[in-house]
Amino acid sequence: MMKGVYNWIDERLDITPMWRDVADHEVPEHVNPAHHFSAFVYCFGGLTFFITLIQILSGMFLTMYYVPDIINAYKSVDYLQHKVAFGVIVRGMHHWGASLVIVMMFLHTLRVFFTGSYKAPREMNWVVGMLIFFVMLGLGFTGYLLPWDNKAYFATQVGIKIAASVPYLGGYIQTFLQGGDIVGAQTLTRFFALHVFFLPAVLLALLGGHFYMIRKQGIAGPL
Amino acid sequence: MSENTSHSHSERKPGAKREMSRRQFLAYTLGGTTGFLAAGVIVPMVRFAVDPVLQPKSASDWVKVVEESKITAEPKSFKFQVHQVDGWYESDPELEAWIAKDSSGKIFALNPTCKHLGCTVNWNNNPSYKDQYFCPCHGAHYTKEGKNLAVAPAPLDEYDVKIENGFVYLGELHANSIVK
Ligand code: HEM
Ligand code: FES
């Protein structure tokens, strides 16, 4: 049945070459843990992406209950965690995944560094990787405010003060991030917009570039 | 006719400016139009996003806080209410000031927001820092006058103080003027 459907579509649109081009490649021996177990370090990039997908999916589901409003944000998080079936799991995925994605990204960066994979012709992918790193930190920073509890509030207070210490522009950056003179109602909506729309869009664009370059240049050779 | 026009075109004096080609003309006009339309889309959104940065800062009024007779040499915490407009959310939050008399009996008021990264300091809340303000976040501490002794890069901010009919009024918050 599935095969029939696939063939029916393939006859009309010739989709086989498309997915072959994306997904059908030899895994070189030096990156395959089945050959040398130590090659597991080459999995960290893929694991980072896997957790990123979990963040995006669980985040999309969290927005079914979450409201970015200073009166109701905390209540909505409390409700989705304690009253909604599997709320603990879905919020837990997003909560722990947010830390795990940073850990994985860091390990992946170490692998790239110590295998020298950032060298020519792959310099641009190192730069894109660094941009991804900062966007991830931005996602962590903006997401952390959303539950609107004490920890969230003061972490943001501290984070914005750090941004405000930038010479000359600091004050403007602070007002821009806060959306006003204080960390308040307008900060929460702003951070929500950044967390849920702007930064994920930038992240996906950068990931697209990252993967395009890997596809074009191939994985770096063995040491 | 065509010969005529093409002639008059090619008869340029040496050094005269070369006329624009059709291709270049189209590239400029289409590019310009696209740029104009794109700006029409982008400018409202950018202006929308940076609006808070361009709003004028609001000045604060004097607030009556406490009787003058309640103030001692030892700093004490006093709460007072201000009216705060945060976008669509108006409220009357309680702010805190630590008010004390200096050695000459002059009353001064400090804001407990840590000048390191904005946590809240407390008077005499850490046994290691007797008679000091201490911040639980990263261990900044300050003298009674608010002078920063560790971690924080600046002294605690100070409120303008006014005494009227035996009451202490607090005004604008500004950088500490008691210690340098
Ligand atoms: C790689 C990307 C992401 C990272 C690193 C991340 C990180 C975080 C963090 C640290 C929190 C605070 C969680 C807590 O305190 O328990 C949070 C909350 C939240 N995030 Fe994300 N996030 C990501 C992507 C997304 C996306 C794509 C969406 C939606 C489309 C989303 C929606 C939310 C919502 C609604 C909350 C508030 C609920 C809560 O605090 O549990 N996130 N995020
Ligand atoms: S915020 Fe007070 S010590 Fe860092």
- In terms of domains, do B97 and B133 share one? yes
| Residue B12, pLDDT score | 58
CA dihedral (B152, B154, B159, B162) positive or negative:
positive
- In terms of domains, do B141 and B81 share one? yes
Residue B1 belongs to some domain of the structure: no
- In terms of domains, do B117 and B69 share one? yes
- In terms of domains, do B144 and B161 share one? yes
Domain extent, residue B27, equals: 18-55
Residue B117 belongs to some domain of the structure: yes
Distance from CA of A160 to the nearest CA of B (A): 8
Q: Which residues contact A194 (CB under 8 A, 6 or more apart)?
A: A138, A142
Mean pLDDT of A165-178: 95
Separation of CA A43 and ligand 1 centre (Å): 24
- Chain mean pLDDT for chain A: 95
Q: Which of B50, B53, B115 to mutate against chain A (most A CBs within 10 Å)?
A: B53
| Ligand 2 and B95: CB distance under 6 A | no
| Residue B5, pLDDT score | 47
Residue B130 belongs to some domain of the structure: yes
Q: Which of residues 189-208 of A touch B (CB under 8 A)?
A: none
| Residue B156, pLDDT score | 96
Model confidence at B180: pLDDT above 80 = no
Indicate yes or no: CB of A185 within 8 angstroms of CB of B84.
no
Q: Which of the four pLDDT bands, split at 50, 70 and 90, describes residue B1?
A: very low
pLDDT 10s digits, A98-110: 999 999 999 999 9
Express as a percent the part of chain A with pLDDT over 90. 93
Query: Using a CB-CB distance cutoff of 8 angstroms, which residues of chain B are in contact with residue A184?
Result: 86-87, 89
| Residue B14, pLDDT score | 67
| Residue B11, pLDDT score | 56
- In terms of domains, do B133 and B92 share one? yes
Indicate yes or no: CB of B119 within 8 angstroms of CB of A182.
no
Mean pLDDT of B135-144: 94
- In terms of domains, do B94 and B156 share one? yes
Q: Which of the four pLDDT bands, split at 50, 70 and 90, describes residue B13?
A: low
| Ligand 1 and A188: CB distance under 6 A | no
Model confidence at B2: pLDDT above 80 = no
What ipTM was estimated for this complex? 0.77
Residue B155 belongs to some domain of the structure: yes
- Chain mean pLDDT for chain B: 89
Last residue within a domain, chosen from B6, B38, B55: B55
Q: Which of the four pLDDT bands, split at 50, 70 and 90, describes residue B16?
A: low
- In terms of domains, do B94 and B154 share one? yes
Mean pLDDT of A13-36: 90
Query: Taking a C-beta distance cutoff of 8 angstroms, is the pair B120, B111 a contact?
Result: no
Residue B116 belongs to some domain of the structure: yes
Query: Taking a C-beta distance cutoff of 8 angstroms, is the pair A82, A36 a contact?
Result: no
| Ligand 2 and B178: CB distance under 6 A | no
Mean pLDDT of B87-100: 93
Mean pLDDT of A143-162: 95
Residue A191 vs residues A68, A165, B48, B169: alpha-carbon distances, Å = 9, 20, 15, 36
User: Which chain A residue has its CA at the smallest distance from B88's CA?
Assistant: A185
| Residue A145, pLDDT score | 98
A180 and B CB contact within 8 Å: yes
Model confidence at B9: pLDDT above 70 = no
B57 and A CB contact within 8 Å: yes
- In terms of domains, do B169 and B83 share one? yes
Indicate yes or no: CB of A172 within 8 angstroms of CB of B53.
yes
- In terms of domains, do B67 and B118 share one? yes
* Mutual angle of helices A185-193 and A170-178, in 10-degree steps: 90
- In terms of domains, do B131 and B114 share one? yes
Residue B22 belongs to some domain of the structure: yes
Number of domains chain B contains: 2
Instruction: Please count the other Cβ atoms lying within 10 Å of the Cβ belonging to residue A188.
Output: 23
Query: Taking a C-beta distance cutoff of 8 angstroms, is the pair B96, B119 a contact?
Result: no
Indicate yes or no: CB of B118 within 8 angstroms of CB of A180.
no
Mean pLDDT of A84-105: 97
Query: Taking a C-beta distance cutoff of 8 angstroms, is the pair B145, B178 a contact?
Result: yes
B112 vs A21: CA distance, rounded Å: 61
pLDDT 10s digits, B43-85: 999 999 999 999 888 777 899 999 999 999 999 999 999 888 8
A162 and B CB contact within 8 Å: yes
- In terms of domains, do B28 and B76 share one? no
Indicate yes or no: CB of A157 within 8 angstroms of CB of B53.
no
Model confidence at A209: pLDDT above 50 = yes
Mean pLDDT of A207-220: 94
pTM for the predicted model, two decimal places: 0.82
Residue B109 belongs to some domain of the structure: yes
Q: Of ligand 2's atoms, which has the minimum distance to the CA of residue B119?
A: 1
pLDDT 10s digits, B26-47: 999 999 999 999 999 999 999 9
CATH number, residue B99? 2.102.10.10
| Residue B3, pLDDT score | 47
- In terms of domains, do B91 and B109 share one? yes
| Ligand 1 and A66: CB distance under 6 A | yes
Residue in the structure block whose two tokens are 């800062």: B57
Nearest to B136 by CA among B156, B120, B152: B120
